[in-house]
Amino acid sequence: MKNTLLALLLTLPLAAQPVDIDKLMSQMTVAEKFGQIQQYSGFGFTTGPTAAAEDAKQKELIRAGKVGSILNCVGAKVTNELQREAVQHSRLKIPILFGFDVIHGHRTVFPSPLGESASFDPKGCEETAAVAAKESAAQGIRWTFAPMVDIARDARWGRIVEGSGEDPYLGCALASARVRGFQRGGKYAACAKHWVAYGAAEAGRDYNTVDVSERTLREIYFPPFKACVDADVMTFMTSFNEVSGLPSTANRFVLTDVLRNEWKFKGLVVSDYEAVDELRHHGLAADGAAAALDSLKAGLDMEMVSEHIAKNGPALLAAKKITMAEVDQAVRRILLIKQKLGLFDNPFTAEEPEQKVLFDPAHRALARRSAARSLVLLKNDQKVLPIARTLSNIAVVGPLGNNQEDIIGPWHGDGKKDEAISLLTGLRNKFPQAKVTFVAGCDINSDKPIDRAALTQTLAGADMIIVAVGESELMSGEAKSRSHIGLPGQQEALVKMVHESGKPYVVTLIHGRPLALGWLAEKCPTLLECWFPGSEGGNAIADVLVGEVNPGAKLPVSFPRNVGQCPIYYNHKNTGRPADLRDSYVSNYMDVPNSPQFSFGYGLSYTTFKINEVSLSRNSLSPKDSLTVSASVQNTGSLAGDEVVQLYIRDKVASVTRPVRELKGFERVSLEPGQKRQVTFQLGPKELGFYDRSMQWAVEPGEFEVFVGNSSLAEKAASFTVR
């Protein structure tokens, strides 16, 4: 009773009057203004012999009004405790904004973002983001550093796991859906990151140099960020990398010219972790004062973790190197976000509901659904899938088979590994009557020899083998670039042994980045791509294995044949010497085809579909007009299932070179056996335009080809002319 009352009191509004930001700012000292610009990490979580002294120091900083925001401080109790210091004991009582990396769920972990993107299901992505916001808000968090909307074309880059893959059109749809989900209700802020072109790191090495043209920025890397602005995202985060000579964190072109002046973004921009300090390592700033000056002048509002702006700001002001107006602009943006989130009125988090919200059964059901909807059937040559419910002896083989550690993937928020459902558990749940045995056989990533004896013994009585191989969660994510992107360790050899046993088997792949699957792609008859499927991963995979859920997802990224093909993406240019021009001296490799192993947009089903009857509402139009493309999709098999109908275009001849095809529409359709539906897509100036020679958005006259199908390999279906 007492606790309930306290929880209620904590959530009651503090101020009767809405805060007047201008008035508040007029009362702020210079130190308090720079305090708002500062974001610290991990307050309230210090351990070790000096913890008490550290805690006292942190509280003192808060009371002095020197803490605008804190990241990595999670929990209603601890955030309330720190918040009390701010709103009850600091002079101006400005609340703290607590941020955290709520990337793909919080306590309930959803599939890794790249995996979830394979669902081609914006509505689904919106729902998982909304639940992630709800769970983390119950722990005092009001700001997630997500969605990560970096286009990534290079499987070597570990952070490819965090985004929505290689395509700007899909990237825009999912970016805005995720922003809408996180910000649903208006009391929680999303953050579009990493602004910008972080995914273009040379050689796929994290944090590496980026040098791309303004055209590629505008056509490939900018659009998902613009989609976030259009969805009213409240915040942006700068990227660590330089963009053509200027690190983003000190890049006025991206932070001010584009973001503020062109796109009219009104929210706040935070640096990435110590990215202001890293301006020194970039060789752009000689010291912290110069780093502070460069980033403030470029348009940064808040500094994450390093303290150069807070420490040097007052002296820079006194020396007239920055103006009070520049400082005020950043402070105002920060305070406005706090106001928008209702923090001045309601800065605390009710402590009791926290436990009820986290890992709610409804959230777990959503996690299971979204994971199952993100599984991509890569191969099913012998129709081994779906497996029969009558199986009596199933062997689960591989280091990811009985694994709760890695199945939830990197950046798993407050997700608990021991709450995750392993594949073994998922199968035991699904086959309560059957014998389901397990052998790891080898490690994920070591040279330790395969345990042949244990493997042989486990396989002996099995009537079906489910292999689970891939990466550990620590092999994909930040600072997890790889130059070998095949299956690590002895896992391929393990799969070969299973293959040689002659028994029916299925390979499930659990990992972050696209892998070069080599021998597996050639020889294994059955491959199911599972990504890092999250808390309910084992149940979701089992749902798909037995056909309770018919796989309908598609690859949001190309799977290369080998690492030498990276970066690889379907929307490439034709070049002056395309590979199909003639036999030699063309743009190809001597030792591998140009095509990926598995293409963008590809994925099979247990049923079959026919997509045809493509028609256009008109065959010619003016640059200002639109046309409608319609097609029919029919389930021609005997099971209900989903197909993702995809529309691509090609602008045949233009004033600058155009990609060989570009995705401009998709729809995931669920159909009963025999059922047929009509899908329609609009093509107008937004879809048909591009940046012309003078970098102006234009639709140019000429012929456009239209491709409609179920992957980026869709056949040409029609063409039209812009006159």
Residues that bind ligand BGC (CB under 6 A): 71, 101, 145, 193, 272-273, 478
3-state secondary structure of 313: helix
Q: What is the CA radius of gyration of the chain?
A: 27
- The least CB distance from residue 145 to ligand BGC, in Å, is 3
What SS3 class is residue 186?
coil
Smallest gap from Cβ 632 to ligand BGC, in A, equals 43
State the pairing for strand pair 393-397/464-470. parallel
Residue 177 is encoded by which pair of tokens? 């859906």
Closest approach, Cβ 255 to ligand BGC, in A, equals 17
Nearer to ligand BGC, 71 or 647 (CB): 71
Contact present, 21 and 339 (Cβ < 8 Å): yes
Nearer to ligand BGC, 69 or 646 (CB): 69
Which is catalytic among the residues 121, 150, 154, 272? 272
Q: Are 475 and 422 in contact (CB under 8 A)?
A: no
CB of 141 to ligand BGC, least distance (A): 12
Nearest-angstrom CA–CA distance, 162 and 105: 12
545 neighbors 529 (Cβ within 8 angstroms): no
Which residue's entry shows tokens 């040689």?
Answer: 500
Looking at the Cβ atoms of 204 and 426, the one nearer to ligand BGC is 204
Q: Which is nearer to ligand BGC, 477 or 601 (CB)?
A: 477
Nearer Cβ to ligand BGC (105/401): 105
Residue closer to ligand BGC (CB basis): 69 or 599: 69
Q: How far apart are CA 501 and CA 441, in angstroms?
A: 14
In three state form, how does the secondary structure of 37-96 look?
HEEEECCCCCCCCCHHHHHHHHHHHHHCCCCCEEECCCCHHHHHHHHHHHHHHCCCCCCC
Output the smallest distance, CB 302 to ligand BGC, in A: 12
Instruction: Closer to ligand BGC by CB, 117 or 711: give it.
Output: 117
Whole-angstrom distance, CA of residue 183 vs CA of residue 168: 22
Least distance from ligand BGC to the Cβ atom of residue 170, Å: 21
Structure token digits, residue 108: 């309930």
Nearest residue to 113 via CA among 534, 560, 697, 645: 534
Smallest gap from Cβ 272 to ligand BGC, in A, equals 5
Nearer to ligand BGC, 120 or 145 (CB): 145
Quote the least distance from Cβ 537 to ligand BGC, whole Å.
Answer: 23
Q: Which is nearer to ligand BGC, 145 or 609 (CB)?
A: 145
Per DSSP, 202 falls in state G
With 0-12 CB in 10 A as exposed, 13-18 as middle and 19+ as buried, what is 123? exposed
- 3-state class of 609 per DSSP? strand
Name the residue among 366, 373, 290 with its Cα closest to residue 550: 373
Burial class (CB in 10 A: 0-12, 13-18, 19+), 641: buried
Q: How far apart are CA 609 and CA 643, in angstroms?
A: 7
The minimum distance between CB 148 and ligand BGC, in angstroms, equals 7
Cis peptide before 436 (omega within 30 of 0): no
CA distance 303 to 308: 8
Amino acid identity of residue 61, one-letter, is: L
Pairwise CA distance, residues 640 & 547, whole Å: 10
Smaller CB separation from ligand BGC, 193 or 650: 193
CA dihedral of residues 272, 277, 281, 283 (deg, nearest 10) = 110
| Pick 148 or 497: Cβ nearer ligand BGC | 148
CA dihedral of residues 353, 358, 362, 364 (deg, nearest 10): -170
Q: Which of 241, 234, 46, 238 lies closest to 144 in space, CA to CA?
A: 234
- Are 423 and 508 in contact by the 8 Å Cβ rule? The answer is yes
In sequence order, what are the beta bridge partners of 643? 669
Residue 572 CB-density burial (10 A; 0-12 exposed, 13-18 middle, 19+ buried): middle
For residues 681 and 660, give the distance between their C-alpha atoms in angstroms, rounded to a whole number.
20
Q: Based on CB atoms, which residue is closest to ligand BGC, 71 or 310?
A: 71
- Least distance in angstroms from the C-beta of 66 to ligand BGC: 20
Looking up tokens 């409608």 gives: 628
272 is a catalytic site residue:
yes
Amino acid at position 678, single letter: Q
With tokens 């929880």, the residue in question is 7
In the complex, minimum distance from the CB of residue 273 to ligand BGC, in angstroms, rounded to a whole number: 4
Instruction: Output the smallest distance, CB 118 to ligand BGC, in A.
Output: 21
In the complex, which residue's CB is closest to ligand BGC?
A: 145
The candidate with the shortest Cα–Cα distance to 118, out of 551, 718, 610, 607, is: 551
Q: Which residues are marked as active site?
A: 272
